[in-house]
Amino acid sequence: MEIVRQKEFVNQYHYDARNLEWEKENGTPETDVEVTFQLVEKNEELNETTVIAVLQFMIVRDEFVLSGVLSQMVKIKDRLINQPSEFSQEEVATLAAPLLDILKRMTYEVTEIALDREGVTLEF
């Protein structure tokens, strides 16, 4: 699978300190990380498909909650995709890797500043 990527885009990124009193009344958030794909174009003449990879996340830690959306437009050459469900788990991981890297980098930097200590390293 030959991939041509555009630059990653940070749609939203939120760092929120935990508010345990609010959570008692409204419920505790749960960690959820999901990658989805939106079909943009299927070009039969060039035998390529363009999709947008979207990473939506909520990461709950003892002291904070991170949430947001990252995305990246990706052109897949020499392959026509009809439905995102056609991607194997390995292909999903390959397509999502740059978005997960951005999330890791941002989280490390933001938590280093916010918590005034070494940043938090996310593992996926």
Q: How confident is the model at residue 109 (pLDDT cuts 50, 70, 90)?
A: very high
**Mean pLDDT score across all residues of the chain:** 96
Average pLDDT estimate for 20-47: 94
Does 124 score more than 90 pLDDT? no
Does 42 score more than 90 pLDDT? yes
- So what's the pLDDT on residue 1? 79
- So what's the pLDDT on residue 68? 98
Instruction: Give percent of the chain with pLDDT exceeding 70.
Output: 100
List, for residues 53-92, the tens digit of each pLDDT value.
Answer: 999 999 999 999 999 999 999 999 999 999 999 999 999 9
- So what's the pLDDT on residue 102? 97
d(CA 37, CA 43) in angstroms, rounded, equals 17
d(CA 121, CA 8) in angstroms, rounded, equals 20
Question: E-strand spans in the chain?
Answer: 2-5, 9-17, 32-43, 48-60, 64-77
- So what's the pLDDT on residue 103? 98
- Classify 2-115 by CATH class: alpha beta
Q: How confident is the model at residue 114 (pLDDT cuts 50, 70, 90)?
A: very high
